C-alpha cells in the first residue's frame, strides 16, 4: 500500500513495531489536536501493511486495504475528542490485532467496527462487500440503539449481554472489543473527567477481567494501570514517585541477584534468560489497600522471570534457585502441572534474597511465556500446538457457560452480575472422585462444585463428602480437596443456598430453578382461580375453545396462555376480568358468583402460595386467601386483623387432608424465674415431636419471665398437645399463641 494510495482521511498516528503481545502506545500523541505530518503517517502505514504481508495471503491484505478505504470514506468528516480524524481509531485497533496476528476477517472487522454505529452503513452492506462472517463480527461489537425510558446502566447491561453472547459464538468479537477499549483507554485524556472515570471503572470491572480470563496477561496489566491512573490520579502519581525513588536504592540488590543467577544456572547446566521486572503500580496499590500496608512495608516491588528451553528445565531451575536462596514456606505454586483456567503456566516461588528481602520468581518456557502474554489470541499463530488446543477447549467451555448464564438469567442486569462474579480467576483447585481437577473461585462451596460438574448435579444435590468425610453443603473448599456430591432424584435447590454460593453459574441456575418452579405453581393456581371466575359466569374452563383464547391473547395481552395464567396466580391480573373477556360478557351478576371449589393448601413449601407472617396460619385454623400483586395467593387466618376490604376480595381456600408441614407458630410462655426453667420447657417441647426454630427471653419486672418460642408443628392439634403438656409444668403461669411478631424490649 503506497502513500499515494492512502486517502486523506487515513492520515493518523502510527503504532511503533515491537515484539510485545500488545503494541506500545502510539508514538505520535493522540491527545493533541495537531496531527503529525502526512508523509510520516504514510510511511508508518507502509510498515503496518508490510507486517501484515509477513503472515497473511496477498488477497487477504488486499481485502484489508479495501476495508481501509471503505472505513475512511464512511468516517470522512468525523473527528475524535482529541481533534484527530476518526479513522485513526479503527486503524489503531487493527494495529493491535496485527500484533496478535489475527486473520483477515478480524482485521477487516476491526477497521469497520464503528461504521454501523456512527454512519449510515448497514450490516447488509458490510456483508455484501466483505462477507457475512465479517458483518457478524462488526454487529457483535456494535452497540444497540438506546431505547426510550432506558437508563444508561440498563442500556449498558444490554450491550454487554449482546457482546458477550456474540463472543460465545466467535471469540474474535471480544478480541476486537478489547483492542478497541485499549486504544480508548490510551487516549482517555481527551475525554471529559466524569466520562473518563466511568470508562476507567468499566474497564477495571469488565474488560480487564475478560482479558485475564482469555489469558491476555500483558493487556490485562495495561488495563489495570490505565484504569488506576484515571480513577485515582493523585494516588497513582504519588505511588509512581515512591517507586521511582526506591528504584535507585534497590538497584544494587537487583544487580546482585541477577549476577548470582547468571552464575548459578549455567553451573547447573541450565540455559536460561533472566529478566528483572518492576511490579505494576496497580498491583502494589492493591496489596497496600488489601493488607493495610504502607509503601515502605511492601518489600517485593521487584520480581524476576526465568525463561528456559523446556518443562524439565523449569523444575531444574527451581531446584537451583532453592539452593541459592531460602524459599518462603507456603509460597510455591505449580501452574505447570495444574494450569490456570486461562491456560497460564508457570512455576511461582518466593525466596528470601539479599538483606532479607522477599523476591518473587516466575519460571517458564518460551512457549509458556508467549501464551501468558497472548493467551487465546495465540490460537491464530500456533494452530497445531497440543497445549493451545487445551487452552482453546477451556476457553470454549467458558464461552458456553455464558450461554447457560443467559438462559438462566431474568434480564441483562442479572446476566451481567453473574458474568462479573465468574470473571474473577479461579483460585481453588479441587478434585472430582474420578481425579479430574476443577478450578473454582476462592470461597467456593460444595454447592458451587456441584453446579460446576453439571447443572443437574447441582439441582439434585442433597449432601457431600469432602475428603471422604460427610460435610455440610455450605462448606468452603480448599486446595486439593476431593469432593463427592450425593444426589436424590426428587431433590430441588434450596433458596437458602443463594446466601453462600460464590459462582455465577450456581447463583443463576438456583434462581432460574426457583423462578421456573414458582411460575409452574403460579400457572396452576391461576388456572384454578380462572376456573372459579368462569364458574361464577356459568361457564366451565374445559369448555373454552382455542379460538376464545386466541381472540383474548391477540386483543388484550400479547402473551401466551401460560403467561396469562401465571399472571393471574401472581396477582398481576384479576381472574374475573380475564374470565369476562374470554366469554365476551360485560357485566357480572353478583348473585351468580359461586365458588368453583375451594383451593386446597397442601403445605408450607408451595411457592405460589404464601402463609401470611402477620397471623401465621397452621393446619386446623379457619383460613381465607387474598390475591396480592406480585405475591400470588396469601393465606391468612379468618380473623386476621390485617385483612382489609370485604369478602369480594377473598378466595375460598381450605387445608388439604394430606397437608405436610412443618409450620412455624409463635407462642409466649410466662414462667416463674427459676433455675433450669428453659431446659425443662425445651425438653417438654422436644418430647412431643416439635423443633424449636428460635427462642427469645424478656425478663419481667417481677418474679416471672416471658419466653417467646418459634415452634415447628404439623397442625393445630399438634400445637394443642404441646400447650397442654407445657401447662402441666408447675413453673408455667400462662401460655398464649401469638399471631403477630412480639415487640422487642431493650
In angstroms, the CA 478 to CA 160 distance is 33
CB atoms under 10 Å from CB of 24, counted, come to 13
Among residues 172, 191, 186, 241, which one has the least CA distance to residue 219?
186
Among residues 256, 390, 270, which one has the least CA distance to residue 320?
270
Q: Locate 190 and state its grid cell.
A: 481527551
Specify whether the CB–CB gap between 611 and 623 falls below 8 A.
no
Helix (H), strand (E), coil (C) string for 197-228: HHHHHHHHHHHHHHHHHCCCHHHHHHHHHHHH
Tell me the longest C-alpha to C-alpha distance in the chain: 107
- Residues in the chain, how many? 746
> Which one is catalytic: 43, 62, 118, 649?
118
117 flagged as catalytic? yes
Specify whether the CB–CB gap between 203 and 248 falls below 8 A.
no
Q: Output the CA angle 51-54-59, nearest 5 degrees.
A: 100
Specify whether the CB–CB gap between 488 and 463 falls below 8 A.
no
Specify whether the CB–CB gap between 342 and 67 falls below 8 A.
no
In angstroms, the CA 419 to CA 406 distance is 9
In angstroms, the CA 427 to CA 440 distance is 6
Residue 425 carries which DSSP code?
P
180 flagged as catalytic? no
Q: Output the CA angle 479-481-484, nearest 5 degrees.
A: 145
In angstroms, the CA 595 to CA 535 distance is 7
Specify whether the CB–CB gap between 718 and 667 falls below 8 A.
no
In angstroms, the CA 461 to CA 326 distance is 46
Number of H helices, E strands in the chain: 26, 21
Q: Locate 64 and state its grid cell.
A: 484489508
In angstroms, the CA 451 to CA 504 distance is 10
Among residues 741, 731, 640, 745, which one has the least CA distance to residue 699?
745
> Which one is catalytic: 117, 456, 639, 649?
117
The H or E element that residue 603 is part of is strand 599-603
CB under 8 Å to 8, separation ≥6 — which residues?
A: 38
Q: Decide: helix, strand or coil at residue 736.
A: strand
DSSP string, 344-396: ---EEEEEE-GGG-EEEEEEEEHHHHHHHHHGGGGGGT-SS-HHHHHHHHHHH
Among residues 347, 396, 361, which one has the least CA distance to residue 376?
396
Q: How far apart are the first and last CA of the chain?
A: 83
Q: Just list the catalytic residues.
A: 117-118
Amino acid at each position: 500500500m503506497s502513500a499515494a494510495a492512502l486517502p486523506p482521511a487515513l492520515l493518523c498516528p502510527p503504532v511503533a513495531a515491537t515484539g510485545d503481545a500488545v503494541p506500545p502506545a502510539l508514538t505520535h500523541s493522540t491527545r493533541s489536536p495537531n496531527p503529525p505530518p502526512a508523509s510520516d503517517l504514510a510511511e508508518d502505514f507502509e510498515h503496518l501493511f508490510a507486517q501484515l504481508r509477513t503472515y497473511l495471503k496477498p488477497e487477504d491484505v488486499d481485502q484489508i486495504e479495501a476495508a481501509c478505504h471503505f472505513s475512511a470514506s464512511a468516517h470522512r468528516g468525523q473527528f475524535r475528542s482529541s481533534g484527530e480524524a476518526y479513522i485513526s481509531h479503527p486503524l489503531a485497533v487493527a494495529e493491535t490485532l496485527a500484533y496478535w496476528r489475527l486473520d483477515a476477517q478480524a482485521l477487516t472487522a476491526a477497521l469497520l467496527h464503528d461504521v454501523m454505529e456512527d454512519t449510515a452503513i448497514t450490516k447488509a452492506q458490510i456483508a455484501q462487500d466483505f462477507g457475512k462472517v465479517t458483518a457478524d463480527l462488526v454487529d457483535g461489537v456494535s452497540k444497540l440503539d438506546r431505547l426510550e425510558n432506558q437508563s444508561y446502566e440498563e442500556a449498558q447491561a444490554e450491550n454487554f449481554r449482546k457482546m458477550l453472547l456474540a463472543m460465545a459464538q466467535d471469540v474474535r468479537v471480544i478480541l476486537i472489543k478489547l483492542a478497541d477499549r485499549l486504544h480508548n483507554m490510551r487516549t482517555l485524556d481527551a475525554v471529559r473527567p466524569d466520562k473518563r472515570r466511568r470508562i476507567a471503572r468499566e474497564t477495571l470491572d469488565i474488560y480487564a477481567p475478560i482479558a485475564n480470563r482469555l489469558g491476555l496477561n500483558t493487556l490485562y496489566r495495561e488495563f489495570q494501570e490505565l484504569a488506576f491512573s484515571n480513577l485515582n490520579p493523585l494516588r497513582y502519581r504519588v505511588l509512581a514517585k515512591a517507586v521511582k525513588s526506591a528504584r535507585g536504592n534497590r538497584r544494587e540488590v537487583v544487580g546482585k541477584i541477577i549476577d548470582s543467577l547468571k552464575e548459578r544456572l549455567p553451573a547447573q547446566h541450565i540455559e536460561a534468560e533472566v529478566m528483572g521486572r518492576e511490579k505494576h503500580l496497580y498491583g502494589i496499590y492493591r496489596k497496600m489497600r488489601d493488607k493495610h500496608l504502607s509503601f515502605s512495608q511492601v518489600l517485593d516491588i521487584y520480581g524476576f522471570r526465568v525463561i528456559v528451553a523446556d518443562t524439565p528445565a523449569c523444575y531444574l531451575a527451581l531446584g537451583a534457585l532453592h539452593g541459592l536462596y531460602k524459599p518462603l514456606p507456603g509460597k510455591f505454586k505449580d501452574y505447570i502441572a495444574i494450569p490456570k483456567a486461562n491456560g497460564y503456566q508457570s512455576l511461582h516461588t518466593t525466596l528470601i534474597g539479599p538483606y532479607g528481602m522477599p523476591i518473587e520468581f516466575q519460571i517458564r518456557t518460551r512457549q509458556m511465556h508467549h501464551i501468558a502474554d497472548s493467551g487465546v489470541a495465540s490460537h491464530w499463530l500456533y494452530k497445531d500446538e497440543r497445549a493451545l488446543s487445551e487452552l482453546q477447549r477451556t476457553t470454549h467451555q467458558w464461552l458456553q457457560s455464558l450461554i447457560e448464564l443467559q438462559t438462566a438469567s431474568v434480564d441483562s442486569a442479572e446476566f451481567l452480575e453473574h458474568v462479573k462474579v465468574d470473571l474473577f480467576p479461579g483460585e481453588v483447585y479441587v478434585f472430582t472422585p474420578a481425579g479430574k481437577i476443577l478450578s473454582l473461585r476462592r470461597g467456593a462451596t460444595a454447592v458451587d462444585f456441584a453446579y460446576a460438574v453439571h447443572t443437574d448435579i447441582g439441582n439434585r444435590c442433597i449432601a457431600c463428602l469432602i475428603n471422604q468425610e460427610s460435610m455440610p453443603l455450605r462448606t468452603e473448599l480448599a486446595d486439593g480437596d476431593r469432593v463427592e456430591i450425593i444426589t436424590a432424584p426428587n431433590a430441588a435447590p434450596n433458596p437458602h443456598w443463594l446466601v453462600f454460593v460464590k459462582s455465577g453459574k450456581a447463583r443463576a441456575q438456583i434462581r432460574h430453578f426457583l423462578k421456573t418452579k414458582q411460575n409452574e405453581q403460579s400457572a396452576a393456581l391461576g388456572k384454578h382461580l380462572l376456573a372459579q371466575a368462569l364458574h361464577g359466569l356459568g361457564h366451565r374452563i374445559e369448555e373454552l375453545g382455542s379460538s376464545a383464547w386466541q381472540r383474548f391473547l391477540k386483543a388484550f395481552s400479547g402473551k401466551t396462555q401460560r403467561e396469562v395464567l401465571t399472571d393471574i396466580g401472581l396477582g398481576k391480573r384479576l381472574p374475573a376480568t380475564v374470565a369476562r373477556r374470554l366469554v365476551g360478557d360485560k357485566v357480572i351478576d353478583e348473585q351468580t358468583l359461586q365458588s368453583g371449589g375451594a383451593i386446597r393448601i397442601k403445605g408450607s413449601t408451595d411457592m405460589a402460595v404464601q402463609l401470611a407472617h402477620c397471623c401465621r396460619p397452621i393446619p386446623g385454623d379457619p383460613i381465607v386467601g387474598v390475591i396480592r400483586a406480585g405475591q400470588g395467593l396469601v393465606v391468612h387466618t379468618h380473623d386476621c386483623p390485617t385483612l382489609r376490604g370485604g369478602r369480594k376480595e377473598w378466595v375460598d381456600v381450605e387445608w388439604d387432608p394430606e397437608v405436610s408441614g412443618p409450620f412455624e407458630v409463635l407462642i409466649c410462655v410466662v414462667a416463674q424465674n427459676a433455675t433450669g426453667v428453659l431446659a425443662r420447657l425445651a425438653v417438654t417441647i422436644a418430647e412431643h415431636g416439635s423443633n424449636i426454630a428460635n427462642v427469645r427471653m424478656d425478663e419481667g419486672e417481677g418474679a416471672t419471665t416471658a419466653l417467646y418460642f418459634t415452634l415447628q408443628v404439623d397442625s393445630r392439634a399438634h400445637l394443642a398437645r404441646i400447650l397442654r403438656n407445657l401447662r402441666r409444668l408447675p413453673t408455667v403461669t400462662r401460655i398464649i399463641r401469638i399471631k403477630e411478631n412480639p415487640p422487642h424490649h431493650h
